[in-house]
Amino acid sequence: MIETTNTIQCKSLWDEKRQHRYLFQKIWDDKKDKLLVISKSAGIDDGVEQTVTQIIITNNLNELGFGGFVLCNLISDLSGKSKKMSDENIKLLSEQIKSKDFAGIIICWGSQEKFPDYLKSEAEKVLELIKKSKRETVYRITDGTTTGFRHPLSPRVRNNFQLAQVKL
């Protein structure tokens, strides 16, 4: 019989009213590379409560040999009412994008062609922050045949996604 024990570190950054979640961090192996993951909108993830998106990201990144990630979003407002990134969210995203703590960045907010106009402009702001940072390791999620940006919940990638480098 083999017994295993795992310690997973989780951290969330919220505003004072817990209406905006700016960051969710999950680390299961300090010795392995971590990634910055940028998705569309924040969920309830706090280390105890988890969204399906976060679970899928965890499972797939573990399978790919990574030891953790930091998840940030275009929109931090849990109510879904915000149409723009808050100043706090932009500042935090910029700090994370510039951070040397990550082996790369995954853009996983899905297909921008299907975004409402207000969300397209927010995605463009984040892409511009990434371009200015001169990060060379920027990825999108793929199943090996798809060419566009995919969200982890996409049926084509959710159980076994691959990372493809993006040129910005």
C-alpha–C-alpha distance, residues 144 and 133, integer Å:
27
For each of the domains in the chain, give its residue range(s) and CATH number, in order of start.
9-157 (3.40.50)
Query: What is the bridge-based pairing of β-strands 68-75 and 34-41?
Result: parallel
State the chain's maximal CA–CA distance in angstroms: 56
Judging by beta carbons within 10 Å of its beta carbon (0-12, 13-18, 19+), is residue 146 exposed, middle or buried? middle
pLDDT tens, the chain, 168 aa long: 999 988 999 999 999 999 999 999 999 999 999 999 999 988 887 778 888 999 999 999 999 999 999 999 999 999 878 888 889 999 999 999 999 999 999 999 887 777 888 888 899 999 999 999 988 899 999 888 877 888 898 888 889 889 999 988
pTM here is 0.93
